[in-house]
Each structure stands twice: as structure tokens, then as C-alpha cells.
Amino acid sequence: MDYFPIFLKLQDADCLVVGGGDVALRKVRLLKAAGARLTVVAPEVTEELAMMAQRGELQWRAGLFTDDMVSGMRLVIAATDQRVVNQQVSQVAQQHNIPVNVVDDPEISTYITPAIIDRSPLVIAVSSGGSVPVLARLVRARLESIIPAGFGLLAAFSARFRERVKARFADVEARRTFWESVLEGPVAEAVMNGREAVACEEMEKRLASAEDSPSGAVYLVGAGPGNPDLLTFRALRLMQQADVVLHDKLVAPELLELVRRDAERIYVGKARANHTLPQEDINQLMVRLAKSGKRVLRLKGGDPFTFGRGGEEIETLAEHNIPFEVVPGITSANGAASYAGIPLTHRDHAQSVTFVTGHKKDGSIDLDWPALTRPDQTVVVYMGLTMAAELCAAFIAHGKPADTPAAVIEWATTPRQRTLSGTLQTLPTLISSYGVASPALIIVGSVVSLADKLAWFRRVENGPATMPDLQQK
């Protein structure tokens, strides 16, 4: 280890920055965030630094650096574009045993500034020892993407209960187990969602309870249309914390690989007229698991509230006083349309878009056809694959021209994606001829005509003439 990592308290401490350019400005911002009293030495400074000086946020000494300027300083940074000046600053600071950093010159620095992830009071520093600063920044970017902004709130919240938890659990191992259950459970989620009063109430219950077992909760998480890169940060974090995962076949296998390795996985898939578990049984299963103290992840393709029956499930959870959270996902319609190059709205084609399920609860297609056949709109049909022929015929019967463009997108956003483009008249034959299977969405409207030109992810197949070519691929 070439450098010993420390966190230096600079609140109300005098710090010196030599230099007035953009590099110096970046360092001033960091020191300012740490509460330092700043002096900037430079003949000229950026407009922002000058404004800071006018507001009294720092002292600007317009001129050249002199040796006496380091006197009384807690920290010194040299950020000029002249190495001779930087060397002089470093030499003088070291003579006074003051930590000094010369920007991008670790050889004449006594400390280096790491890449910082600020979730105050939680602060994470990443360093490459000054040898490859870009690598440190790349690592910081990776960490930024997986560490929620709410961790700062969680750290501050937990600090308030530290002594009480210590008094409640004399045994170190029991204390650690308790904190793990808090920091990865409903209390933490409530804090990071801004519901501090709820978190305090739950924390008081936990501390007063004679039982130390963690309380359960259910998280309805939208897994998006299939591509793991389209998950939200929050969805990924909950996937890696869950004790039990309930999923169906609309969740791509690649997404399940991101779930915590030791989590129990329960398949609750449903297909038309062939339900592995009826919906009510799924609802009750979530209740039982949560009451047993499990963190339950209900992982749904697309978005839980867009034909995902999320509303039905949280109604049951609310009736049983089970803590729950809904994490939205990119809808299957948005994902499929984007990856197929079919804009759902377009000034020349469609001024509105309608999402509709392909059949009702009783299996019929007795839908609001006057609304679905209005001109200048796009219609996205969920769960319409097995009824495609009946649906297309109904569109035509209710006044939609038979040559209206229509497409089906199978396994949207994944490497298996196929887009078949035709018309209301030809689409059922395309689906049958190509053996399209669920998950798939149907899009109806003139925007489909743009797919040939705008498809960027996978090429569009148009009609039976290209069938042999596709079947060979």
C-alpha cells in the first residue's frame, strides 16, 4: 500500500489553493464542501472563483505565491500550470510539515486527492495511487451507479440509534445481525424513500420487541422488457437483497442471474388458461412469506402497474398490513417499440397511444373497439398473441383499414428479438408462419411503417417471402 488512506477533518480549517484556473476551481469546490476556510492565491482567477470571493466564501490574494503564505495552513494544494511554481509550493509546505498535493504530479505531493463518492455522512474514496487517475474515476462511476443517494440519509438515521442498539444488544454478533436486518430491510427502504416517521416507528418496534427476528416485506419490482441493462438501479439493489424471488416466464433468464445467489426462487408463471398458480394463491404466498420474516421480491416483466396485476397484489398485502414497495420498470410497450424502431407517437402518424390487453378476464375480446379504431393513434396490444387472428379481424370489422400497418415484436430488447412487420390482414399469417411465441407485443398503427427505416437493433422481417432466410438464422 503506497498511500495510507485517511479522512481529514477540515471544518473551519485554513486551507490554501495556489492557482486560479479550472483545476483550482474543482479543488476549491471539494474543500468548500468539507467546510474549509479557503485562501486562493493567483494573479487571475475564473469568474466563479471571483464571485465566491465577492460573496465572502473565500479570500482571494491576487498576486504570486510567496513562502510565508503557507503559515497556519492545515492543507495546501498547488494547481498552477507552472511546475516550477508547484515545486516551490510543495517544498515550502513540506518544510512546515503541512500536507500538500500538486495536482496530477504525485512525485512531489505528500498526499493525493481520491475520486470521491459523497453520500454524507457516508463518504467513499477511490485511489489508484496517483498513477492512473482516470481508472479511479471509472471505478467511482461504477460505485455511483450502485450506491443509492439515500445511503446518506440512512447513515444519519442509523447514527441516531447507535447507542440504543448497543444498549439493547450487548452481544456483538447479535448487534451485527440486527443492524444487517435493519439496513437491508423495510426500515432502510422507508428512510431512503423519505418516510422517516415510518422508519422511526418501525425501529422503535424492533428495539422494544422481545424477538430479534427481522420483519418481512414485499417488493413489487418491474424488471423491464428483458434487457438487463434497462433495469433501474433500485430494482437491481432489491434483487440482490431478496430472500425469496417470485417470477414468471416473462422475466428473461439473464435477469434472474442478477438475483442474489442464495435466494429461493419460486416460479409462479401464468399462461392463458394454464396457470401454475392462480393469482389469489400468489397473493397469499407473498403474505405467508413476508409474515415469516422474508424479504420477498415479486419480479415482473415490464412495469408492475401496466397489465402486471400489481394493483391486485398490493391490495392483498395492504389488507394484511404487510410492508410493501412498488418499483416501476420500463414498460414492455416502451421497450419493444424503441428497440423495434417504432415510435409510439409521431407528429405525422399518431397523436396518441393506447395500451390494451388482448382479452378480458373471461377470455373474450369484447373491447372498446370504437376507441381502439380511432384515426391518428397507435394501439399496443398486450397478451394478444394467441388471439391475434381474432383481434386483427375485429380491428377490420370495426372500421380499421385492412392495410393498416401492424407488427409483432418477440422477446423485445434481448438478443432473441424478432420484429415481424405487416398489416392487419397479413399479421396473423406472419405470426403463425414464423412460430412467434410469448413474450410478444402487437403494435397497430401507421407508425409501424417507420420500422424499416428506424430499426436500429434488429432488422424487420416483411412478409412470407423472407421466411426461409429467417429460419436459417
Q: Which residues are annotated as a binding site?
A: 22-23, 43-44, 225, 301-303, 383, 412
Backbone phi, then psi, for 3, in 5-degree steps? -130, 135
Neighbours of 341 (CB within 10 A): 22
Residue 222 CA: distances (Å) to CA of 18, 51, 216, 418: 50, 46, 20, 22
Q: Cβ-count burial of 371 within 10 angstroms (0-12 exposed, 13-18 middle, 19+ buried)? A: exposed
Mutual angle of helices 151-160 and 196-208, in 10-degree steps: 40
Burial of 433 (0-12, 13-18, 19+ CB in 10 A): middle
Can you say how many angstroms the Cα of residue 327 is from the centroid of all Cα atoms in its chain? Answer: 10
Place of cell 416460479: 267
- Residues in binding site for S-adenosyl-L-methionine: 225, 301-303, 383, 412
Q: Which three cell numbers stand for residue 315?
A: 391490495
Alpha-helical regions (H) of 122-252:
133-146, 151-160, 162-168, 172-183, 186-192, 196-208, 233-239
**d(C-alpha 98, C-alpha 152), whole Å:** 31
Residues recognised as catalytic? 248, 270
Backbone angles phi, psi at 302, to 5 degrees: 70, -130
Cis check: omega of the bond before 5, within 30 degrees of 0? no
Query: Which amino acid does the sequence have at 139?
Result: V
As a whole number of angstroms, the distance between CA 394 and CA 369 comes to: 8
Which distant-in-sequence residues (6+ apart) come within 8 Å of 40 by Cβ? 16, 17, 18, 19, 20, 24, 28, 49, 53, 58, 59, 60, 61
Phi, psi of 379 (to 5 degrees): -120, 125
Sheet order of strands, 264-267 included: 264-267, 244-247, 295-300, 217-222, 324-327
Binding-site annotation, residues for NAD(+): 22-23, 43-44
Let me know if 63 is exposed, middle or buried by CB neighbors in 10 A (0-12, 13-18, 19+). Answer: exposed
Instruction: Evaluate whether 448 touches 405 at the Cβ level (below 8 Å).
Output: yes
